[in-house]
Amino acid sequence: MFAHREPHYQGKSLGTWLDVLAFDRRTTNTKEETLQAQEAIKAMGAASIPFLLRAIEGQQSGFRLEMFVYRHPYVQRWSSIRSFLTWQEKRRMESERRAGSAERAFRVLGPTAKEAVPELLKIIRKPNIFTSFRVQRAIIAIGKDAFPDLLRALDNPGYSNQATIVEMMGELKGVGTNAIPAVPKLVRYVESGQIDLSRNAARTLGRLGVSPELAVPALMRALESKDTLLVRTAAEALGNFGPAAESAVPMLAAALQNSDGFVQEASAQALGKIGRNPSVGVPPLITLLKQKQHTRFAAEALGGFGGSASEAVPELTAALNDPDHMVRAAAEKALARIGSNQPSDIATQTTR
């Protein structure tokens, strides 16, 4: 599958080019040096993948034990052992440095490295948290071509970190309708009762934005959860479905009364993005304006209803005099979308 000889470009090895991409070189490299290293990585392409895989994994050393032994008073008398352990630590630090460069190389390669995804997923199963974060970013950089492998990983009982895989799914751009097969699984995860998995699944459903007939009911049920962060995430996700989430308007309107301010904000924003069922969605948003609660988000949401929110014009007009310039700007935009004939000079004066 992969080549075994380290590739070269312009007479320099892959390792030499990776050194240019190291984190500690960011402030010393010239722009031309960085661009040249990125060009080299692209030119070596798939031939660099096996070496990048080994580099990004880094060393899984017994570092804690080494440092304990190093600091032990009896061992401190043995200069040869201390020197050996110092050498080991230098190796570990260099390994971490090279791993960071490999991650940046995967970002440069992007979709060209899609064949590496199965191997990257094997690495991510290992317990080193820093390695896991690096691999996640590498997979996300590969993009939508990584989605099929992530979906297959969810069916693999060897993967216990489903929450991480689901989170990565939501970070991939441009997946489109190719994400439809994942929706039934994500719906089950939302209702799994596992905190991180449920939250990540709700967020990913909203980011993928497909199969609303399955996703929207599941997210509506999540609005009833006792987990405040899941409720907030579900509200945000429903907003991403736009008018397709019209059935959620009554529950989102009720969520405006939630005691958590972040839930109120997310629900208001979702109502504005959906922009349907104004008889249910508009009145509680007007109430928020009157109560001076989350005024900016309420104003923005009312603008999402367009002319159907005309009853909010008096409160939005009053908000043009709010001391917060962001509230004034939101009210002005909302009035423009509603179609109110507010004098432009008044709006200009109040937003200064």
Intervals of the chain under pLDDT 70: 1-4, 59-91, 340-352
Secondary structure letter of residue 6 according to DSSP? P
Per-residue pLDDT at 126:
77
Q: How far apart are CA 189 and CA 229, in angstroms?
A: 15
Per-residue pLDDT at 342:
41
Smallest Cα–Cα separation from 18: which of 63, 61, 48, 59?
A: 48
Whether 147 and 178 have beta carbons less than 8 Å apart is answered as: yes
Tokens, residue 50: 């096996």
| Residue 306 falls in which region: left (phi positive, over 0), alpha (psi -120 to 50) or beta | left
Per-residue pLDDT at 41:
96
Per-residue pLDDT at 87:
54
| Kind plus residue range of the DSSP H or E element containing 344 | helix 344-350
Per-residue pLDDT at 81:
52
Secondary structure letter of residue 23 according to DSSP? G
| β pairing state of 12-13 and 8-9 | antiparallel
